[in-house]
Each structure stands twice: as structure tokens, then as C-alpha cells.
Chains A and B, each alone.
Chain A
Amino acid sequence: MGTELNNVASLGAPAGMAAQLSQSEIDALRARLMALWSPPVGVQDPNELIVNITVKLRRDGRLAAPPFARVNGRSVAAMASRDSAVRAVLTGQPFDMLKPEHYDNWKEIELTFDPKDMFRSN
């Protein structure tokens, strides 16, 4: 009968550009890491707390290798922030909110932990 189907691109096509990670998967991943991350917020220089972690994941949502974390400098605050971010990544496994059909898009993730939204003044 040739009815016109909707023209929304199908998600979950086998490979290439159409295998898109959805916003809800990303939001759920961020929400889990936010809930697990307890940065030391009372410190004077918030820039010391920024942690960059590269994470490689297996298909089951668990880490394929230990997370690789980088911080600004070697102050106690930086180390405490790094430890806290690494702990969040370790305890957040498995990251089951990320769909297996989108694995190519999330098998390697670069996380930047930066508590800038936690420092508010009136």
C-alpha cells in the first residue's frame, strides 16, 4: 500500500554514523558519576581539583583497564580530587546505562571532573 513511514533515522543500525549514543544514556552516565564523586570542595583554588580520566570499557560496561587519571600538579588537594574521581569510576561499574549496540561510541570515554558548579556565592 505504500504508506509513508516516518522519516526519523533508525537508531541501532549495525555500524557507522547511524549508531548514535542517545542523550539519555549520556545523562544517566553523568548522573551516576556525579552521585559517586565527592571532591574536596573547601579548597582555595578550585582549578587544583580538575581531574581528567580516560576510561576504556568492555562491552559489559566494566573497565577494560585501570583508569588513567591526570591532574594539575601534585598538591594534596589535587591528589585527593584525583582519588575521589577514580573511586567514582571504579565504584560506578558496570556502566549498564550504556547500550551494547552503541558500544563503538562509548568504548573509550574521556571524563573531565571539574567542580566549578559546586562553588556558588550569593
Chain B
Amino acid sequence: MIHPNNRPVLPLSLSRRQLLAGAGALAMLGSRPANAVLKLDITQGNVQPMPIALPDFISDADTGRNVTAVITNNLQRSGLFAPVSPAAFIEKITNSDNVPRFPDWRAINAQALVTGRITRQGDGRLKAEFRLWDVFAGQQLDGKQYFTTPDNWRRIAHIISDAIYERLTGERGYFDSRIVFVDETGPKERRVKRLAIMDQDGAGVRYLTRGDDLVLTPRFNPSTQEITYMSYGQGDPRVYLLNIETGQREIVGNFPGMTFAPRFSPDGQRVIMSLQQGGNANLFVMDLRSKQTTRLTDTPAIDTAPCYSPDGSRICFESDRGGTQQVYVMPASGGPAARISFGEGHHSTPVWSPRGDYIAFTGQARGNFAIGVLKPDGSGERLLTEGFHNEGPTFAPNGRVLMFFRDVGQGPALYTIDISGRNELKVPTPSFASDPAWSPLLS
């Protein structure tokens, strides 16, 4: 074990501070015994996508090729991997159990290699297996097998993508997840809005409502197959629960007034929302089983867009109690709220990262809308996007990627961006799309 604060001690009269002043170097000033070990600090790397080779999984029919295509697309879109073109492959993989000819893969500069196989079992199930290889070290890094029904091949591809991602980056994956969003069709003045759900890569779009009512802010329950959302049915906007599997729908609570911006608690037992009565809006939380409701804020202001921290102990929300919309944090049971956003302009739609380390928001300044992040203590605020409209961030399950929507005139579309501000990509949807929410990992 090494301890990060135990820097090597140098046998020289110069102090460590003087030596470290030169860009983290351990300078060779003065004399040094000839057989002492040279010590060198590397304090920066570069963030280059890792070249990875993904030959088609072996199978009969197209399943192997399809699975490989989904994995390749996932890894490429993450921005952290650069799949090597199959046209460059030298070795042809015919048996995923065999040790690869590593020199063939080093020759094309692949740093990692994935081989795999899909076979149909006697009982009709698919067996999917993969091996992840470190080309330069010449060894296997990971290998797993999965059994599933044949129509589940996409989920297997996402689960394998997550395993590869996690082993090579050291972070939890995010590919085996879904997006719920508002699908928008029709002319701008008569838009039809439907709730839709799809895999995070855009595949498998399904519509959950018919478009009769205006729907907004769909959000996942972290532990069940439920969504909460807001709908303008007949009259006041109301918060609803919708079961994805059964399609069953119910109103959350029976509040005298308009309810907005619902979200589930991390344990899925409660829904927190904003209730507007008269000119102001306050936060309420309802226990889904007991139906008991608790008021959390009581101010002559608009308090809305609440979001729990991943451990459920705190809530961030948007309030204009100080004059402009800003982000506040308070204990989940209510109590004094502290403002945390002090950067230029307004800050709204806060959402807490599943990793707990950031809160993302929609920032508005000088007529532009941008996606930004800041730490829960208010420090480290930075904007991730450019342009004049970007709104409604939602975090991937690993807290590493954000999805949001942007409307540059014709209609809104979904985009993703890495939390470092790099790799902005458009997400394919059948039509215009807005208000995305990212599910937890399905597995």
C-alpha cells in the first residue's frame, strides 16, 4: 500500500517545496550519489480515447454482429474509446476462447480487444460470453457469460458494454439504462406531446401516453417500473404515476391547487413536488403508501424543481425567494435552506448527480440558457454548453454524462455531454424531443 502523502524524501539540502516548484519535477540539482534511484512524479496524463478492437461476436445468423454493433456504438459515444476499424484487423477471431495473437493487435495500435460468442442453448435461451484482453500486457482482464431469452440481446449488449467500460475506466457504466422523455410532433402552434421511453442509445422507442393531454417532466422511480409526470388534463396540472409495464395510471394525491415538477425519493417510497396555491409555490412530499403529505417549505415565493441527494438526506431545489431563481439546499425533512448558486444569472432545474458530487442546473444569463454544474457546497461552478438554448439536465446513472434538450428554432432535440464539458452528441429520436430523464441502471 502506498499513502498519497508520503512523498519520497530526497537526500539533498534543498527543501521539498523548492524542488517541487518546478512543475512537479524532482529536479536533479546539486550532487546525487550515482546509485540512488531516480524519482519522478507524473501529475498529468492526457485524455485520449482508448483504441479498442471489437471483432464481431461469433454466432450463426446476425446476432453476434448486432451485439457487437451495439457495444461499439456505446463505447464510441462515451467519448472514452476509439473503436479500431475492422478493415485494419490482421488476425481473424474464430474462437473467442483462444488467446489472441497479441502482436497482430499491437500492430494496429489497439490497446484493448474484446472477443465474444453467442450460442443458442437447447432450451432456446441465448448464451452470450465475452473476454476482454489487454493487448500490451498480453493478458485477459475480464470474462463473463450471460443467459437470456433471444429477444433480450440488446440488453446483453448493454450489460457487456458496461462491464468493458467499468474494467477499463474504473467507473461504473451507464449503458444498460433507459430514457423517458416528451416526444413532440406536429406544427409548433399545435404540438402533440406524448410520453415516450427508449434505450439510452435511442433504440426501442415506445409511447406511454396518447397525446390527448399535455405532458411534462417525466421522472423515473429508482426502484420500480413506474414513472411520475405532470399532465394538464381537464383543468389544473396534476402529478401522475404511470406503471410502464401495465400502463396503469393514477393521480398522486388530491391537492387543492396545481402540482408540478414531481420526483421520486431515492428509495422510491415518496414523491416530492411543488404545489402552487395563490401566487406562490411550496414543496410538499407525499408518502406513496400512507398517502401522508408533509409540507417542506412555506415562503411567499416560488419553490419548485426539487431533487433528492442520492443518499436521500438532502434536497436541492429552485427558489426565487431571494429575488431571482437560484439553487438552494436543505435537509430532506425540511428546515433552513441555504442558497448555493452565486454565479452570474439565474439557476434553475437543479438535479443531483447519482454520485453525489455535483448538482447540474439550467443557467440563464444575458439571454442565453446553458447547462452547468456546481458542487453541493456551491463551489466549482462551470458551464458545459454553448449556444443560446440548452435546458433540463439529467444525469446518467454513473454521474459522468448529462443529457439535456436544446431548441434552435424548429423544435427541441436531446443531446448528451460529458461532465468535463467534452463530447457533445445528439441523441437520435423519432421526432422532436424534450424533458429527458435518465433511469438508474436496469441491472
Contact = CB atoms under 8 A, between A and B. Distances in A.
A102 to B, nearest CB: 10
B380 interface: yes
B14 interface: no
B287 interface: no
B28 interface: yes
Contacts of B136: 87, 90-91
B145 interface: no
Contacts of A20: 28, 31-32
B165 to A, nearest CB: 10
A37 B398 CA distance: 23
B40 A30 contact: yes
Nearest to B22: A23
B186 interface: no
Given A35-B46, A87-B111, A121-B382, A44 B357 contact: yes
B127 interface: no
A52 B2 contact: yes
Contacts of B7: 112
Given A26-B25, A27-B25, A80-B169, A38 B8 contact: no
Contact of B170 (A36, A76, A85): A76
B88 interface: no
A72 B6 CA distance: 12
A108 to B, nearest CB: 5
Interface residues of B, number: 51
B424 interface: no
Contacts of B321: none
Contact of B47 (A41, A71, A108): A41
A114 B4 contact: yes
A40 B171 CA distance: 8
Contacts of B170: 40, 43, 48-49, 75-81
B98 interface: no
Contact of A110 (B25, B37, B44, B420): B37
B311 interface: no
Contacts of A110: 8, 37-40
B38 to A, nearest CB: 5
Given A44-B357, A105-B32, A106-B38, 9 more contacts: A26-B25, A27-B25, A42-B398, A42-B400, A71-B2, A76-B171, A108-B37, A112-B8, A117-B44
Interface of A: 15-17, 19-23, 26-27, 29-30, 33-44, 47-50, 52, 54, 70-73, 75-81, 83-88, 90-91, 104-106, 108-118, 121-122
15 contacts: A21-B28, A21-B38, A42-B420, A70-B1, A76-B171, A79-B170, A80-B170, A86-B137, A87-B134, A104-B34, A110-B8, A110-B38, A112-B7, A114-B43, A118-B44
